[in-house]
Amino acid sequence: MTKDGDKPRRGALRADRALMHEEGACLPLRSKHGQCRACAQACPTQALQVNLAVVELSEACIGCGQCVAACPTEALMLPGLQSVFDVRAHRDPSLPDEPPAERPIRVECRKVPPDRLAPGTLVLPCTGALTTGVVLAHEAQGQGLQLVDRGWCQGCEANGRSDAAGHPAQAALETARLWLSAMDVPSHSAIAIEPLPLALRPTTIPEPEAVEPGIGRRSFFRAALERPAGRDRAKPIPMGGDGRAAYPASERRAAPERTRVLQAMRRLAEQAEREVPAEVFATIHVSGDCCDRRMCVALCPTAALTVADNGIGAHLQFDAQRCISCGVCERACPEGALQLTPHRGRSGVHTLISHHRRSCRSCGERYTPHQLADPSDGSSEAPSLCPSCKKSQSFMDDARRQLFGSLN
């Protein structure tokens, strides 16, 4: 656990790069079971290295933002992209008087010269930084996105492969279309082919005019140089063998991208008088091997798993709306009792399994009996021992056997 006063916060990964990182939201840094490498896999220049102790950024970072789009918990962020993800800021006040298909928001990359941009264009460092949630949020507002293809992606440093073709936001757009189609909702977002001469394309992604409202580039980089990441806060502590997460439960929160997706899907479903499709929700199956150790609860980064314990019964509850299908719970379970399926779930909070609580006849503490370890606990109401007292009793019995022989 982090020490008091060492709350995880967002800081620059490198003093000479704008990419920000929040340790408390990063799955690999929260526990050894958080095996997420989405950012490193999405990086076109292989600038990110992720391990259990630290996330490192090399000089190869070009500031494209594709790692930000890939991160399931928004642990990574580029200054300026946060305002892009705040879809409400892009709402056109004149929209209700015009058909949505006629007024889509144009989306372009920052390499396009400013004099070639239409008024109101949404500019990203790379259009690959667009997420499915942002697409759906615009659709829910009745205003689609027009992703402009200038024919510059092939050979661009942000593309990763010099021979690759296609729009970098194609995957986000297709996923949004798939979910809209499941509700019989038409999509107003599309790719527009508007080529520009290749000679106009800069070799690198230009720096933004302002990294955040009220913060200029010079101020941001001065602050980063004066306080490089990691120097004024404790380094993350990987999870140990006792089941404690590296960050407290108070740091768990719903994933921003997941929230964007669900809010948009609910609004669109309501407008279409449909249900949000089951493909949007994950499913968790729990076997009888579950013995209420609650490691899955402690390590779930979004608090999708919780326990309702009234002293008599302990009920493992699952909120599919918060689940990001990271698989941490499945990997962390010592008994292998959990099986996660990313799709075909249902919304709402429901109970996965319930355990009857007992009082230990020795210490009086309430505990959950493990049926596999002590079958009599599952059928008898007679007082029994909690795991700690049972271990102590076993130790004392072994000692007496060694000293006095058989206990009979």
**Is 221 found in the same domain as 194?**
no
Overall domain count for the chain: 3
**Is 274 found in the same domain as 144?**
yes
Per-residue CA distances from 312 to 109, 358, 367, 374 (Å): 58, 7, 9, 19
- Are 85 and 135 in contact, with CB atoms under 8 Å apart? no
**Is 135 found in the same domain as 170?**
yes
State the pLDDT confidence band at 376, using cuts at 50, 70 and 90: very low
> Does the pLDDT value for residue 226 go beyond 80?
no
DSSP letters, 325-347, are ---HHHHH-TT--EEEESSS--S
**Is 76 found in the same domain as 14?**
yes
Residue 316 in any domain: the answer is no
**Is 70 found in the same domain as 17?**
yes
pLDDT of res. 247:
58
Instruction: Look up the CATH number of the domain holding residue 5.
Output: 3.30.70.20
Distance CA 108, CA 147 (A): 7
Report which of 331, 326, 319, 329 is spatially closest to residue 342, judged by C-alpha positions.
Answer: 326
Residue 185 in any domain: the answer is yes
> Does the pLDDT value for residue 269 go beyond 60?
yes
pLDDT in tens, 279-322: 899 999 999 889 888 889 988 999 999 999 887 888 999 999 99
Look up residue 57 and give its two tokens: 């950024």
Domain that holds residue 57: 1-80+213-240
> Does the pLDDT value for residue 194 go beyond 70?
yes
**Is 73 found in the same domain as 102?**
no
- Numbers of helices and strands, H then E, in the chain: 12, 16
pLDDT in tens, 337-372: 999 999 888 888 999 999 887 778 778 777 777 654
Cα angle, residue 327 at apex, residues 324 and 329 outer, rounded to 5°: 105
Report which of 91, 109, 114, 197 is spatially closest to residue 159, judged by C-alpha positions.
Answer: 109
Dmax over Cα atoms in the chain, in whole Å?
Answer: 94
Cα torsion angle, 266, 268, 271, 275, sign: negative
State the pLDDT confidence band at 165, using cuts at 50, 70 and 90: low
Per-residue DSSP letter, 301: T
Look up residue 333 and give its two tokens: 């379970």
Distance CA 246, CA 198 (A): 48
**Is 262 found in the same domain as 125?**
yes
